[in-house]
Amino acid sequence: MWNWFHDFMGGIQWKDYIPDFASGNVNVEDKNHPCMKGLPASFTIEKEEWYTYDKSPRPQVHVIASVDESSYTPARTIKMGDHPVIWTNDHVAARNIYIFMGHSPDLFNNASYKTIFRNAIFWAAGK
Domain boundaries, the chain: 3-124
**CB atoms near residue 87 (< 10 Å):** 25
Question: Which residues, in sequence order, are bridge partners of residue 51?
Answer: none
- The pTM assigned to this predicted structure is 0.95
Contact 45, 62 (CB under 8 A): no
Interatomic CA distance for residues 26 and 48, integer angstroms? 11
Interatomic CA distance for residues 26 and 109, integer angstroms? 16
Tens of pLDDT, residues 1-42: 899 999 999 999 999 999 999 999 999 999 999 999 999 999
Question: Which residues, in sequence order, are bridge partners of residue 78?
Answer: none
Tens of pLDDT, residues 38-84: 999 999 999 999 999 999 999 999 999 999 999 999 999 999 999 99
> Helix or strand or coil: residue 84?
strand
Interatomic CA distance for residues 97 and 33, integer angstroms? 11
Interatomic CA distance for residues 84 and 27, integer angstroms? 9
CATH class of 3-124: alpha beta
